[in-house]
């Protein structure tokens, strides 16, 4: 079964009142030029400027423009995930609202999905208009992510991406995981992931919304997603294994301490009290930690069996749906 529209363009935004009219007009021109049926889904992530009023005005002027407004700022991942679930196009394009992504790339990205059979195509901003303080850490994280995930991409965090509609309907993007959507797609079974060099334009309006904390968060998110991708369905395999090893080590040390004391008592050798030996306390800690890890794994298994969507965001208003 195919969707009615050719393309859905999902645009998360936060305080981008200046760029929205130019961006939507540019997208519409590209779609009309190529004869695509389309929708533009603008997701206002709790903007504090006039962005939502502009979205409502644009929607009134162009029936292809739809809007979703959050009651507060939930983050880019939440905005993308909500927009994805509303998208009805056969191909879904995600792009940033700051005009640094070019809508002229959309036809080629769509072609790679439709004609080349990719599940997902990620943009690669090979030539970037960003300061070195941003590009160097970004390259480092992209390299590490590629090695760990096994996905050969140069730019995991590029906002310009294309997807088959089933991909965005089946993945959940939460927290700050928008940086690792290709990884999420892969461990949901969508393995045909491509890459296309895209234009990165200099920022025209406003200033970047991301600071140095994005690199710390990016590293933590990478650790999180690699853990979740391997153990989300079987947390006991991780916690249970560590707990069992810790408990076993504590048990062996305890047995050795007790056995050593019995041996010395039997042969009337000098004997130290068990509580005077550091190994006893090490064994005690290992036993307690092992039991706690095992219990954590058991509780995680119960939570996994009853898990539901992590993305329940409070939509304040929406238009066009």
Q: Tens digit of pLDDT for each residue in 119-132?
A: 999 999 887 766 66
Query: 60: exposed, middle or buried (C-beta count within 10 Å: 0-12, 13-18, 19+)?
Result: exposed
The half-sphere exposure of 67 on its side-chain side, counting CA atoms within 13 A, is: 26
Count of other CB atoms within 10 angstroms of residue 63: 9
Contact 44, 15 (CB under 8 A): no
pLDDT at 321: 79
Predicted confidence band at 283 (pLDDT cuts at 50, 70, 90)?
Answer: very high
Question: What are the pLDDT digits (tens) for 30-46?
Answer: 999 999 999 999 999 99
Which of 15-29, 74-88, 270-284 has the least mean pLDDT? 270-284
pLDDT at 317: 78
Which of 145-159, 207-221, 230-244, 291-305 has the least mean pLDDT? 207-221
pLDDT at 180: 87
User: What integer best gives the mean pLDDT of the chain?
Assistant: 87
Report the alpha-carbon distance of residue 108 to residue 123 in Å, rounded.
11
Nearest to 85 by CA among 48, 41, 45: 41
Report the alpha-carbon distance of residue 149 to residue 205 in Å, rounded.
35
Asked whether residue 134 carries a pLDDT value surpassing 80, the answer given is no
Report the pLDDT averaged over residues 204-222. 65
- More confident of the two residues 179 and 34: 34
Asked whether residue 226 carries a pLDDT value surpassing 80, the answer given is no
Inter-axis angle of helices 20-34 and 106-114, nearest 10: 50
- More confident of the two residues 78 and 204: 78
Helix (H) or strand (E) holding 184: helix 181-186
Report the alpha-carbon distance of residue 79 to residue 52 in Å, rounded.
14
pTM, 2 dp: 0.75
Predicted confidence band at 174 (pLDDT cuts at 50, 70, 90)?
Answer: confident
**Dihedral sign, Cα of residue 102, residue 105, residue 107, residue 111:** negative
Q: What are phi and psi of 155, to 5 degrees?
A: -145, 85
Pinpoint the alpha helices (H) of 93-150: 106-114, 132-149
pLDDT at 306: 63
Report the pLDDT averaged over residues 252-258. 92
Predicted confidence band at 312 (pLDDT cuts at 50, 70, 90)?
Answer: low
Strand locations in the chain (E): 5-13, 38-44, 65-70, 89-94, 120-124, 161-164, 193-197, 315-319
Percent of the chain scoring above 90 in pLDDT: 55
Look up tokens 């329940």; give the residue.
312
Look up tokens 């190529």; give the residue.
34
Predicted confidence band at 310 (pLDDT cuts at 50, 70, 90)?
Answer: very low
pLDDT at 308: 46
Question: Tokens for 317?
Answer: 């208003």
Strand partners, 9: 40, 93
Is domain 5-232 given the CATH code 1.20.59.10 in the classification?
no
Asked whether residue 198 carries a pLDDT value surpassing 90, the answer given is yes
Report the alpha-carbon distance of residue 27 to residue 24 in Å, rounded.
5
């Amino acid at each position: 079964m195919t969707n009615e529209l050719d393309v859905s363009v999902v645009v998360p935004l936060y305080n981008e009142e200046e760029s929205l009219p130019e961006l939507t007009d540019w997208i519409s021109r590209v779609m009309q030029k190529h004869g695509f049926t389309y929708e533009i889904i603008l997701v206002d992530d709790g903007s504090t400027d006039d962005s939502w009023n502009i979205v409502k005005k644009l929607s009134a002027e162009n029936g292809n423009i739809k809007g979703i407004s959050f009651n507060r700022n939930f983050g880019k991942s939440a905005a993308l995930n909500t927009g994805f679930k509303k998208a009805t196009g056969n191909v879904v394009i995600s792009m940033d609202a700051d005009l640094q992504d070019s809508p002229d790339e959309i036809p080629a990205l769509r072609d790679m999905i439709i004609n080349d059979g990719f599940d997902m195509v990620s943009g690669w901003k090979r030539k970037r208009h960003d300061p070195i303080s941003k590009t160097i850490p970004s390259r480092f994280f992209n390299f590490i992510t590629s090695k760990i995930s096994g996905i050969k991409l140069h730019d995991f965090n590029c906002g310009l991406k294309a997807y088959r509609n089933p991909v965005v309907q089946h993945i959940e993007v939460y927290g700050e995981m928008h940086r690792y959507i290709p990884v999420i797609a892969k461990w949901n079974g969508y393995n045909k992931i491509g890459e296309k060099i895209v234009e990165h334009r200099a920022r025209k309006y406003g200033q970047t919304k991301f600071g140095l904390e994005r690199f710390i968060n990016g590293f933590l998110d990478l650790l999180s997603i690699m853990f979740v991708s391997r153990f989300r369905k079987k947390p006991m395999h991780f916690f249970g294994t560590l707990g069992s090893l810790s408990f076993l080590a504590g048990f062996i040390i305890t047995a050795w301490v007790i056995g050593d004391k019995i041996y010395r008592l039997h042969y009337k050798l000098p004997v130290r009290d068990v509580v005077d030996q550091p190994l006893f306390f090490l064994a005690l800690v290992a036993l307690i930690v092992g039991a706690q890890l095992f219990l954590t794994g058991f509780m995680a298994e119960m939570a996994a069996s009853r898990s539901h969507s992590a993305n329940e965001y409070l939509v304040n208003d929406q238009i066009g749906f």
